Structure 1
Amino acid sequence: MISDYVFTVADRFLKYVTIDTQSDPNSDTFPSTEKQKDLGRLLVEELQQMGVADAHLDAYGYVYATIPANTEKKVPVLCFCSHMDTSSDCSGTGVKPIVHRHYDGSDIVLPDDPTQVISVKQHPYLKEKIGEDIITASGTTLLGADDKAGVAIIMDLAHFLMTHPDVKHGAIKILFTPDEEIGRGVDKVDMKKLGADFGYTLDGGTRGSYTDETFSANAVIVTFHGISAHPGLAKGKMVNSMKVAGTFLDLLPKDSFSPETTEDREGFVHPVQIEGTVEKTTVQFIIRDFETEQLKMHEKRLEEFAKQAVGRYEGASYTFESREQYRNMKDILKNYPQVTEYVKEAMKRSDVTFHQESARGGTDGSRLSYMGLPCPDIFTGEMAFHSKQEYVSIQDMQKSVEVLVNLVQIWEENS
């Protein structure tokens, strides 16, 4: 059935990426930017035109929708989720997507800034994309495949199911979230209204990738307190908290313990923001590890460095605050092996090679899994995200749609 289908995913994607949905980590509103709702309103309109009657955008910028079951079987309710916002790391204003048809394997020079070159050396996945159709931005913005590729894939799944009532499936819930890129993606989600039993985010990379494990994550704020004095009369009195913080940062290992020196399953401690005056300086950190119990060990080591730094400045002091951000979804998903097994089968039916991955980061699914919705991540084809060199293969997005069509049928068959 899917082999005869005329996919809509590429056309949808090309439309969605032109809508600026960048989130703002410095905003205290929810969503952090109103412009994210511009895409939300379009998605609701398109879903309603398909016949998805309950599609709506709520006050917080979430899109909810239900594709009703068309089987007599009692099938677990599935949710497919993607985020609408794009990263604040790179401009998302005025995105001009370019389709490179029948990619020939050469470096891709982006026309609006020829210094932006998507090279095969830096992006070896391109070697597997020869002959496919690659979408990039024009060189001055990110593309927005993270995660509008996921949004477009879910929308094409909805279109397929609404136009192919003979394909049997249980109730399907659709959830599009704002503010995922700034860590607030599920802060206001209404789990009761969502009403799903299992979920899948569509926010992964290479074709066939499946992520059922993420970092566990904490945030830490270390605040150093000094003593202020008039600089002309400061001898023996002033303690500059910024210098204490500088000493503290200099104590961090140069060859380990950091994002730039770790890989695979190694955890890290990462300073992400510093702000200070003579009297008070705060340093914000993110702490990451696949083993949740290791977070406390990392924090203990970090606090030792803070103690050492303060010890070098008489009169200085510090405070140390830790806050949980998210936890490794693997600890939840291991209790529901069918969630993974059905994806394996769906990829097999779609002639896609399944490969399981651990994400050195987190997704909406990390938190949703601990909110009662076991929720791993499935590939979209999005690559080089958060950068001007972001790209996606149309054929990867189409394959993801095909996998989802097979997946909903497998859940129905096994119910």
Structure 2
Amino acid sequence: MNFNSSLNFTVTERFLRYVTIDTQSDPSSVSFPSTEKQKDLSRLLVNELLAIGVSDAHIDEFGYVYATIPSNTNKQVPVICFCSHVDTAPDCSGKNVKPLVHKNYQGQDIVLPDDNTQVIKLTEHTDLKNQLGNDVITASGTTLLGADNKAGVAEIMDACYQLMNHPEIKHGDIRILFTPDEEVGHGVDHVDIAKLGAFAGYTMDGESAGNMENETFSADGARLTINGISAHPGFAKGKMESAIKIAGKIIAALPDSLSPEHTEDMEGFVHPVGMEGHVETATIDFIIRDFDAEKLKGHANVIRHTADAVLEQYPASSYTLTTSQQYRNMKGVLDENPQIVAYAMEAIDRTGLTAKLCSIRGGTDGSRLSFMGLPCPNIFAGEHAFHSKQEWVSVQDMQKAVETILHLCMIWEEKSYFNEDTIITCIRYAKQP
């Protein structure tokens, strides 16, 4: 089915509306969601879903939005879920976002008007070469845009609108899930998997058009606590061992080869993300990442061995290192259900794009959902330069993402069949002829 002539896309208008709502999450908060303002967008989404006829749309006490597009086929089709997160990253302001549409992009540098030092350059944003003639959306220069992940939210919402208005698009039950707090690592803490009741999920939270991601980092957090020796600074000679200075030396001594700024592709890293303290006690918080979960312990040992070496200079001081699991690479789960990824690749191809299977140097809600019983790869949303003032997305890439969702719904329906005596769902694995 060619959707270009039959769909009246609403994704752009939705996106431009959603990004003006401040939904920034807060990593220091102890509440859930971490900021109440995330619910402002969630409530709007519920109202819009109800307005297009999705009668069970609702927001729960934790700020999750659940909804169902009912099946319109006589086949028994596995339930699939589409998921995006409503929050934006704490790294850059999400308040008073002013989205700008740069129509018919022709390869020029895009100077953002509210801060002309913010320039989106083709030489630095190489995927812009695929946007010639397209309409590129940016922020104005003082905030992030929020394409991560409001592009995904808008795409799912437009797909819901199309499914409700085009009964010729055959599909089974489609579950919708919008989550808070993904950016601070808590996006699925309170998801009700039983309520979703889905066989497979898809996050719409990827980058370049055509990308399909079936692999994420495995992730741990680590905290190094340094116990120094305090003394009056006027009488400290030979006595004081400052935990702050020890912390600084440990960070400086970490190997560059294991830092984010020196790694790429399938390489893991150790990254100090925060430090606080005083002379007597200081803490350093790290994130540890690798595609191979077995390597995470070795990366933690790098921190330990570095601390050991530095502490040799401070015989009266000590440290403790604690690690905690954050999420794991979803590839192992997805490899057990190959049709989930294969159908999404086919859906991308049907839009006219060339599907490309990729790994994510990061994580998504799908990483954890996969280990909660909902295998969940990640499909492109068209978002670029995440968490920055130079974030951008194109109208045409978002429209292709909407088409991908619709084709994917159809493919799951096509791969199932109805028997006169019993309803049988046939999951035709891609590896079978």
Aligned residue number for residue 20 of structure 2: 18
Paired residue type of 1:250: A
Distance 1:117 1:237 in 2: 51
Which consecutive residues of structure 2, in runs of 5 or more, have no partner in the other structure?
Answer: 417-433
Paired residue type of 1:31: P
Give CA-to-partner distance per residue, 1:13-33, whole Å, 9 cap, x none. 010011111111111111111
TM-score by length of 2: 0.94
Distance 1:404 1:188 in 2: 25
Aligned residue number for residue 309 of structure 1: 310
8 Å contact kept, 1:67–1:173:
yes
Paired residue type of 1:320: L
Give CA-to-partner distance per residue, 1:54-84, whole Å, 9 cap, x none. 1011111111111111122221110100000
Paired residue type of 2:226: F
Distance 1:24 1:348 in 2: 38
Size of the aligned set, in residue pairs, is 414
Distance 1:118 1:234 in 2: 51
Distance 1:6 1:68 in 2: 21
Aligned residue number for residue 50 of structure 1: 52
8 Å contact kept, 1:245–1:309:
no
Distance 1:244 1:387 in 2: 32
Paired residue type of 1:321: T
Paired residue type of 2:30: D
Distance 1:267 1:344 in 2: 26
Give CA-to-partner distance per residue, 1:40-60, whole Å, 9 cap, x none. 010000000111111011111
Distance 1:302 1:112 in 2: 42
Establish whether residue 207 from structure 1 lines up as the match of residue 209 from structure 2: yes
Aligned residue number for residue 355 of structure 2: 354
Aligned residue number for residue 84 of structure 2: 82
Distance 1:170 1:404 in 2: 13
State the SS of the aligned residue for 1:347: helix
* Higher alpha-carbon deviation: 66-75 or 269-278: 66-75
Establish whether residue 288 from structure 1 lines up as the match of residue 289 from structure 2: yes
Aligned residue number for residue 109 of structure 2: 107
- Structure 1 position 38, deviation (Å): 0.5
> What is the root-mean-square deviation in Å for CA atoms of aligned residues?
1.1
- Structure 1 position 234, deviation (Å): 2.7
State the SS of the aligned residue for 1:89: coil
8 Å contact kept, 1:84–1:178:
yes
- Structure 1 position 247, deviation (Å): 2.3
* Higher alpha-carbon deviation: 170-179 or 109-118: 109-118
- Structure 1 position 128, deviation (Å): 1.1
Aligned residue number for residue 424 of structure 2: none
Distance 1:414 1:293 in 2: 37
Aligned residue number for residue 242 of structure 1: 244
Distance 1:96 1:217 in 2: 34
Give CA-to-partner distance per residue, 1:382-401, whole Å, 9 cap, x none. 11111111111101000111
Matches within 5 A, 1:14-413: 14-254=16-256, 256-413=257-414
What is the identity percentage for the equivalent residue pairs of Structure 1 and Structure 2?
Answer: 61
* Higher alpha-carbon deviation: 107-116 or 357-366: 107-116
Which consecutive residues of structure 1, in runs of 5 or more, have no partner in the other structure?
Answer: none
8 Å contact kept, 1:85–1:179:
yes
Paired residue type of 2:187: G
- Structure 1 position 301, deviation (Å): 2.1
- Structure 1 position 188, deviation (Å): 1.3
State the SS of the aligned residue for 1:29: coil
- Structure 1 position 230, deviation (Å): 2.1
Distance 1:276 1:46 in 2: 47
TM-score by length of 1: 0.98
State the SS of the aligned residue for 1:156: helix
